[in-house]
Chain A
Amino acid sequence: MRILLFGGFLGSGKTTTILQIAKYITENKFETVALIENEIGEAGIDDKLLADSGLQVRPLFGGCVCCQITSDLITAVREINETIKPDWLIIEMTGLAIPGNIAKLINEYCNFYTGFKTITIVDMGRWPELKEILGPLVTGQVEKTDFVIINKADIEGNDKAEIIEDIKQIVSGVPIKVASAANKLPPDVIEEVIHFE
């Protein structure tokens, strides 16, 4: 089972991106995908959207905003590995989680995977404001990740080159792709996300 762990600030486009990647894997690779959806709030919304696309979704609701992961997630990953045994497990973290921190726990407690990658989605349109207001959180989401998708590139208004450069300063040595998931992710970006050596 290969694991893709998606992080990125609230509303950055994680669910939209995941939907396309999961669909691509099932339709083009003919492999199975299970999904863990970690949402904040009692009324789950994203899980319904994902389930409507025919994906098997395991929702994890956390009323607690600050604790980014509980033993529930580790239990869910183990359970899916033992029962459903999908080819891929996609985990969508809450928009307040730092993927690098969660990766440590996955590596420690779920190292039965055959491949593991963290992907951070950055909302290009809000990056300058979010960095100004919530600098440590949004830079923390980017700095320890294996892959960055700078999303919502179709939104006008900001200096795109400056934002891309800013992200490159935070995270170096990992692929950075600019895209607009709402308009459809290019297949080469998806291929790169799901590529393992």
Chain B
Amino acid sequence: MNKLTHKLKHGHTNPITDATVFSKSYHISFEKPVDKSNIEKLVIQLIQDIGRPLAHNGIIVGHIKVLAKVSDEDFQFLSLTRLDRVDVKSSSQWQTELSGEFNSINLDINVLVFGYKREVIEEIVNGSLVVLRCFDASTPVS
């Protein structure tokens, strides 16, 4: 539902509608299997790359959340509200089973920010995902 339709349907306007929600799931296949340590580094880099162009004086006016899953019970949750701090939480299974390599991951990306169009956010997200899609396990992640 676009903003205009929304206003028509609900019969009101509200400054909160200036917020844009981008919420999408992705399946990312790696060129070579990647371990959890590198997945964590990659996803941290991903959320920072998404956040950088959307930040205002180093803070996100909204939030960016990423759920990176290697299985339904084995996942990491990342949240970004300011560029200098990424909050990372791991599922209980992620912490107990650190070994193993994975050919792919599923990502749920939820960006809610003020002042940006959905298309702009999508372009930023797609651009940021390249680092995961082209990841070469022989190159260390910074």
* Of B57, B81, B109, the contact of A43 (CB 8 Å cutoff): B109
CB A22 to nearest CB in B, in angstroms, measures 15
Stretch at the interface among B34-42, B62-70, B124-132, B133-141: B62-70
In the complex, residue of chain B having the shortest beta-carbon distance to the beta carbon of A46: B65
**A49 interfacial contact with B, CB 8 Å:** yes
**B97 interfacial contact with A, CB 8 Å:** no
Instruction: Please give, as numbers and ranges, the residues of chain B lying within 8 Å of A66 by CB-CB distance.
Output: 6, 10, 12, 14, 16-17
Stretch at the interface among A84-92, A109-117, A133-141, A170-178: A133-141
Of B1, B81, B82, chain A has the most CB atoms within 10 Å of the CB of B81
Chain B interface residue count: which class? 35 or more
**B32 interfacial contact with A, CB 8 Å:** no
CB B2 to nearest CB in A, in angstroms, measures 12
Known: A52-B92, A65-B21, A137-B15. A95 touches B61 (CB 8 A): no
Chain A interface residue count: which class? 20 to 34
Within 8 A of A (CB), among B72-96: 73, 75, 77, 79-82, 85, 87, 89, 91-92
CB A46 to nearest CB in B, in angstroms, measures 8
A129–B81 alpha-carbon span in the complex (Å)? 12
Contact (Cβ within 8 A) A133 B110: no
CB B107 to nearest CB in A, in angstroms, measures 9
Within 8 A of B (CB), among A61-91: 63-67
CB A47 to nearest CB in B, in angstroms, measures 10
Contact (Cβ within 8 A) B10 A43: no
**B30 interfacial contact with A, CB 8 Å:** no
A interface footprint on B3-32 (CB within 8 Å = 1, 0 otherwise): 000100010101111010111110000000
Contact (Cβ within 8 A) B91 A134: no
Known: A43-B24, A52-B91, A66-B14. A133 touches B79 (CB 8 A): no
A123–B29 alpha-carbon span in the complex (Å)? 36
A40–B92 alpha-carbon span in the complex (Å)? 25
**A105 interfacial contact with B, CB 8 Å:** no
CB B66 to nearest CB in A, in angstroms, measures 8
Q: List 22 A-B contacts (CB under 8 A).
A: A10-B63, A10-B81, A10-B112, A11-B81, A40-B110, A41-B22, A41-B23, A41-B110, A42-B23, A43-B23, A48-B67, A49-B67, A49-B89, A52-B91, A52-B92, A64-B1, A65-B19, A66-B10, A126-B59, A129-B56, A134-B61, A155-B82
Interface residues of A (CB under 8 A from B): 10-12, 16, 39-46, 48-49, 52, 63-67, 95-96, 123, 125-126, 129-130, 133-134, 136-137, 155, 182
Return the 8 tightest CB-CB contacts between A and B, nearest first.
A41-B23, A11-B81, A11-B63, A43-B108, A10-B63, A66-B14, A41-B110, A45-B67
